[in-house]
Amino acid sequence: MDDFSVFSKKFWKLTQVLLDTTVEAFRFKNPFINAFICSISMVPNLRVSLLGQGFEERIAQHKSVKPAGEWLLSRYSRECLITGVECIPETGPLLVVCNHSGMGDALAVYASLPRTDVYTVVLRQGILKGLPQFEEFCIVIDQEKPALALKKMVSCLREGNTILMFPRGKIEDDPGLDVISAQETIAEWSESIALLARRVPNLAVLPMAVGGVISRQALNNPIVRFYKQQTNRNFLAATLQLMFPIYRDPIASVAYGSPLRGDQITMANVRTEMRRVLRHVYDQQQDLVAAGRLSRIPQHSDVFERINDVNSFSP
């Protein structure tokens, strides 16, 4: 694809977005430290941009995110364990609702869904700005005019397509690590699920859970463990995982629940089914730990809290 070569503006735009994301992940406020982080992360982020180039090329070639997701997931994680595929409706409007624990969960969905008509609901932020081909398969939410995105979702579903939605709208705890926190945030999920059910005839809502997408080896990195907030540790670990091949070792777990239709589509039923599949993901990840296939994550210590300078650092 000539318009996404290493000499193109798109390639360097993606690289700049990745550098900005790396700086954000470390959460330093000192501009000199941030400049240093940019300089030492340039080469790893150039490698990530090459992955982004491959991702974009495959979307353009196949006119679908599925082959691109399969390809990139194979480079982002060691393995993906999938259960419940038999529950997925093969045709008709399908709303897939999923927890959002990191960068890899969308890839796991694309790789595991047998359907190729998948569109993803996203905010216009982060790495999306550097992936124009991917954006063609997204429904982008304008935070000033969210109703426009809802109209696009209704139209897309009425055409019989699949929509992937992360109803909380922001990162959640990985159920493979902390299933209780992951289950608690379901209460914050958007009520738009039930609204879509009223507007789209014959809609199927498919709850699903993804876990284990964040590298445990990256989470055990001393720099990552410096941060006292779990969300900050997860963000930095996911960033390191993308930058350095040594951290691309997760075994992801994907669990599809039972599809809900008609009067079954209530937020109470969605949350009940989500709790079940989140627990399944957690149990599977714990079995992998017990079998020695995944490392344990020690409890975080707040020993560093005393030395944090709130004027220059925000862990």
DSSP string, 191-241: THHHHHHHHSTT-EEEEEEEE--S-HHHHTSHHHHT--SHHHHHHHHHHHH
Tokens of 131: 């992936």
Domain CATH for 225: 3.40.1130
Residue 125 lies in a domain: yes
The mean predicted confidence, pLDDT, of the chain is: 90
User: For residue 29, is it within any domain?
Assistant: no
Note the pTM of the prediction, 2 decimals.
0.89
Q: Is 235 a member of any domain?
A: yes
Residue 27 lies in a domain: no
Is residue 304 predicted with pLDDT exceeding 50?
Answer: no
Is residue 243 assigned to a domain? yes
In a domain, 72, yes or no: yes
If DSSP codes are grouped into helix, strand and coil, which group holds residue 299? coil
Residue 128's pLDDT is: 86
What is the rounded average pLDDT of the residues 267-294?
Answer: 97
pLDDT at 30 over 50: yes
Does the residue 37 lie in any domain? no
Nearest to 80 by CA among 266, 260, 248: 248
Name, in order, each residue with C-beta under 8 angstroms of 200's C-beta and a sequence gap of 6 or more: 93, 95, 154, 157, 158
Q: With respect to residue 81, please indicate whether it lies within any of the assigned structural domains.
A: yes
Question: Taking the C-alpha atoms of 9, 14, 15 and 16 in order, what is their torsion angle to the nearest 10 degrees?
Answer: 90
Give the separation between CA 11 and CA 54, rounded to whole angstroms. 11
Q: In this predicted structure, what is the pLDDT of residue 307?
A: 31
Please, are residues 161 and 65 in contact by the beta-carbon 8 Å criterion? no
Residues 160, 93: contact at Cβ < 8 Å?
yes
Q: Tell me the residue range of the domain where 299 lies.
A: 65-307
Please tell me the total count of domains within the chain: 1
